[in-house]
Amino acid sequence: MAASCSLKALYGLLKADILDKFRQSHQVKNGHGKKRWGPGRGGEARLVAGGPLPHPTMEALRRLLSRAVLLLALTAFQGESVDRSKFRTCSQGSFCRRYKTWIARPEREKVLWSVLPQTRTQLPEGGYSFQVKHASEADAHLLLKLNIYSSGMVRIRLNEIEPLHKRHEIPPGDVVSEPPPAAAQVGVTEGAGATVFKFEAAEKVQVEASLQHAPLGLEVSVGGKVLQRLNARNLLNFERYRKPQERLPPDASSATAADATAVLLDAAAHPHSLDTNDAGKLGPSTSVRKLFRVDSKTRSYLQMPPAEIKAFIAAFIAVVLALSTTESSASLPFYEEPYRFFNLDVFEYEIDEPMALYGAIPLIWAIHRLEGLPAMASGFLWINPSETFVKLERDTKEAKGGAAHAWWTSESGVLDVVVLVGPTPKRVSGQFHDLTGHAPMPGMWALGKHQCRWNYMSEKDVATVDSMYDKYDIPYDTIWLDIEHTDGKAYFSWNAAAFPNPKQMIDNISAKRRKFVNVVDPHIKKEEKFHVYREVRDKGLFVKKVTYKQMDDPTDAKPSDWIEEAKIADPSASQPPEWNAEEDGAWVAPQIDNPAYKGEWKPRKVNDPNPELSDFEGWCWPGTSLYPDFTDPAMREYWGSQFALDKYAGTNGDTYIWNDMNEPSVFNGPEVTMPRDAVHPHGMVEHRDLHNMYGYYVHRATFEGLAKRTAGDRPFVLTRSFFIGSHKYSAIWTGDNYAQWSHLKASIAMVGALTLGGQSLVGADVGGFFKHPDAEMTVRWYQLAVLIYPFLRNHAHLETPRREPYVFDEPTMLRIKASLQLRYRMLPLWYTLFRDYTAYAEPVVRPLFWDFLDDPQTHEHEEAVESQIMLGSVLLVHGVAKPLTEQSEATVYLPKAAGWYSLQDGAFFSPGPHVHKLDIDSIPAYYKGGSVVPLKSRIRRSSSCMSQDPFTLHVYLDPQAGAATGRLYLDDYRTRMYEDIYAAMILKPHA
């Protein structure tokens, strides 16, 4: 049924069928037993596990009818796989489409934006500002701020001076740390057409940043070699706000053109194939308007300045990772369609696509192999939370190496970019965390096995899962509950029929030294009895829908030459000779249409500056839902307070939280998310300006609430949506993946991409969320996950068969158990690596190039890049992503090192490619020679039960040196006392 059907029509179509179902039976069945009607995880109509339907009271009928209408409407959005027509491409977004036209204009060499060096001013926090002038404007209207940080970063921000509308800027401390990183000691010289900044970064790295004056550009060099050039192709575009229907700003000059329409200003005002479609009030293109509504774009040209960056790499551009597109391979493909950063709930997403997904960390890593120098690494960070596209290009499309370019364009906000100069991967990671903050230490339990499902349906179900793990002596740390545990999807509540005594249930789990995680989503059920709804509403803290009224523009005056006379005397007429004034009266020339008539003058219409605001309502799991404005500190404070033990009934100090659907997901919204013109009342900011940060603010509020709930405890929060800096507050998983071999393999790149973006507590759903893995796939997934997923969770769709380890046949169960026991033996190593991550910003899991940059094969060898990954600098893992019937051996590349020892049998291998025969009991994994690995040999029911057990050190000698080194980090595994130790230390990267 078409999505455009009215709800009244849907109601009528469903009514007879639903009433008939009630009359026939109070229960319905499918292949999995008793079910009740309910929504599927992606919004599709499904049968939800549960008990009998209620008696057919009128109220019950009303509720069911309403829900069925919702579900059928939602079905229009979701299918058996991702429907690309539901999601925008670059050509369907007016700002991106305009930019593509802009960069193809014939006058690309013309200098438009120029830095005025005489306006250089020192900033209070360090750094400098410059005014930037456009060639077609009388005065400078942009301000450039340049900050240079001592750890090795060059940051440029570009914003309007006295704009028509204030642009949204991310508040200090939300992404960039407050106070910001330490400023470098900089030497400044004025060169030929450039201002040159020289400084020494950490580890005595000599850096030079040359700010080109005309056209505006930035060239960053390390050791005399250029690594990155910004605006190298003169493609910078900055669209200034202007009044509706105003093509040019007031001081845009037309002195060089006879016609003002010939002025070359920006992508929204230029003479070359100007694309005005959807530039103003129209919003999305026609194909996207089918998604229920149109973006009003009330501020007319509400577009962010697109900006071009050229990453100049002589030989090869990286195992580069734009981390929002988590479904892409490790070495980013150069797609024809740009990568998109717009946090979305993409149902049944596919891999190897540039489409948007749940989160956005717009960071690119680049590897530079320059003649006469060792390999170097650098990074480029684009700090903008509005919709963003990035296009990767090469001078020669067929070449895998050589110079590469990337252009970026965002819908709104300011230009804020950072060059991370490296020149080593360790320095790039350190610089990123110096800018955005360090992550906290997770509790040891968070690194153990998490058991989750949509959904464990009752207290008995939970107790059964827990006891079966013990029966088969399989270790695990945490059991999870999804949305069905709530009272009608009212979060912070319990389904009283299925969970009558939640406190006792959770206390029983705690008694076994295990933890509990509940899902708490940010859409709030609209129901008067639900206290969270009432309190947030009464505080005025929900996101608002804006209804604009039109009014006459008081600043619009009638032009002095405006002609309003519709008729004039015919100037060509003359009095007829036979006319007799005495008899006929005075002769009057006949009236004709006035050719100069301009019509009745009316002032132009503008939006009333005092629009009507009402709470924005959308559809999500509870039905009609409202969405808190988490950008407001007051809302975050209130949200966090709800996790207090005296407010969140049934929980204890061992209960932690999962924030799902926080993109935010709005089933009946455009692209299944919040409309761009919804308004956050805190600052009256349009949602378009901060869309990619909504989920960030949700999990930040949850983390801060848990930190206050239990003094000294380490909070744990899992989030699906994320942004730059989310590592400070949450774990991340890769979303609703498939039980497919391709998704198993893709998880290697996805986990590696996220860890390079600062997010080390990450993982994928083991076994896949959708569909059901066979026994061999399940075994392979566990064998990989226990070695490379920092966050190790088994999760599955409601309609899949149960897949807890003990439900499989005995050989399969024993192989899964062996994998999990290996994970628990290795927890001391994992925990030590997390200390290095927290203190020194070293990714816990990382692509091979991070540790072996001087070995070209680590970023050129296909298997090394796409199938292999490192756990710290100690363990190399090669994933197996095909059944044995299709792959009986694997080619493993072992980087240049002292040698490698098989994890399974200790056999020694020299560096280089090796062909290994595969068996079902293990995957290829190797400890690096010269390593001492801390382990624990006694495996108990949970990590907490192992905390006082002795350690075992496995020594893998460097065969030439006859020596090995290693480290072991110890604390109490659960409190924040380690922060006191860190505060007393001067943290420097360890040797």
What is the distance between the alpha carbons of residues 146 and 125, in angstroms, rounded to a whole number? 11
Give me the residues paired with residue 417 across strands. Answer: 156, 382
Q: Which of 729, 516, 490, 493 is nearest to 620 (CA)?
A: 490
Q: How many CB atoms lie within 10 A of CB 634?
A: 12
Classify residue 901 by its DSSP letter.
E
Who contacts 622 (Cβ-Cβ below 8 Å, separation ≥6)? 488, 489, 490, 523, 524, 525, 526, 527
What is the distance between the alpha carbons of residues 809 and 776, in angstroms, rounded to a whole number? 11
Contact, 420 vs 756, CB < 8 A?
A: no
Q: Give the three-state DSSP class for 372.
A: coil
**In the numeric block, which tokens belong to residue 915?**
């062909």
pLDDT at residue 287, as a whole number = 30
- N- to C-terminal Cα separation, the chain: 63
What is the distance between the alpha carbons of residues 364 and 718, in angstroms, rounded to a whole number? 24
Contact, 565 vs 601, CB < 8 A?
A: no
Who contacts 4 (Cβ-Cβ below 8 Å, separation ≥6)? 290
Indicate which residue of 663, 677, 704, 799 is catalytic. Answer: 663
pLDDT at residue 405, as a whole number = 84
For the question of residue 663 being annotated catalytic, the response is yes
Indicate which residue of 660, 689, 704, 836 is catalytic. Answer: 660
What is the distance between the alpha carbons of residues 77 and 73, in angstroms, rounded to a whole number? 8
Q: Which of 427, 438, 442, 426 is nearest to 969 (CA)?
A: 442
Contact, 938 vs 821, CB < 8 A?
A: no
Contact, 606 vs 553, CB < 8 A?
A: yes
**In the numeric block, which tokens belong to residue 976?**
């924040």
pLDDT at residue 395, as a whole number = 74
Who contacts 63 (Cβ-Cβ below 8 Å, separation ≥6)? none
pLDDT at residue 107, as a whole number = 87
Q: Which of 386, 416, 411 is nearest to 309 (CA)?
A: 416
Element (H, E) at 307: strand 307-311
What is the distance between the alpha carbons of residues 765 and 779, in angstroms, rounded to a whole number? 14
For the question of residue 660 being annotated catalytic, the response is yes
Report domain extents, the chain.
113-239+298-436, 444-539+614-868
Spell out the CATH class of 444-539+614-868: alpha beta
* Residue in the structure block whose two tokens are 């500190």: 633
Q: Distances from the Cα of 944 to the Cαs of 480, 605, 652, 978, in angstroms?
A: 18, 67, 17, 17
Strands 792-794 and 339-341: unpaired
User: How many H helices and E strands in the chain?
Assistant: 17, 49
Contact, 741 vs 727, CB < 8 A?
A: no
* Residue in the structure block whose two tokens are 């030497």: 187
What is the distance between the alpha carbons of residues 653 and 503, in angstroms, rounded to a whole number? 11
For the question of residue 704 being annotated catalytic, the response is no
Contact, 710 vs 650, CB < 8 A?
A: no
10-residue block means of pLDDT along the chain (991 residues)? 35 39 37 34 37 43 46 43 81 90 90 96 95 94 97 96 92 96 96 95 93 95 90 90 79 66 85 68 31 42 34 34 55 88 90 90 88 88 94 73 82 94 96 97 98 97 98 98 98 98 98 98 98 98 92 88 90 89 88 90 84 95 97 98 97 98 96 96 96 98 97 97 97 96 96 95 97 97 98 96 98 98 98 97 96 93 94 98 97 97 97 97 98 97 97 97 96 93 51 44
Q: Which of 235, 397, 406, 375 is nearest to 311 (CA)?
A: 406
Q: Which of 155, 838, 955 is nearest to 437 (CA)?
A: 838
Contact, 390 vs 334, CB < 8 A?
A: no
Strands 28-30 and 33-39: antiparallel
What is the distance between the alpha carbons of residues 304 and 388, in angstroms, rounded to a whole number? 9
Cα pseudo-dihedral 19, 23, 27, 32, rounded to 10: -70
Who contacts 445 (Cβ-Cβ below 8 Å, separation ≥6)? 477, 478, 514, 515, 942, 943, 944, 973, 974
Indicate which residue of 348, 411, 466, 736 is catalytic. Answer: 736
Q: Which of 866, 799, 931 is nearest to 38 (CA)?
A: 799
Q: Identify the CATH homologous superfamily for domain 113-239+298-436.
A: glycosyl hydrolase (family 31) (2.60.40.1760)
Determine the longest span between alpha carbons in the chain, in angstroms.
133
pTM of the model: 0.88
Q: Distances from the Cα of 460 to the Cαs of 59, 350, 506, 967, in angstroms?
A: 30, 36, 12, 43
pLDDT at residue 607, as a whole number = 79
Contact, 148 vs 183, CB < 8 A?
A: yes
Phi, psi of 815 (to 5 degrees): -70, -40
pLDDT at residue 308, as a whole number = 36
Q: What is the DSSP string of 213-277?
A: TTTTEEEEEETTEEEEEESTTS---------TT--S-TTB--TT-SSGGG---BTTB-SSS---T
What is the distance between the alpha carbons of residues 204 and 427, in angstroms, rounded to a whole number? 12
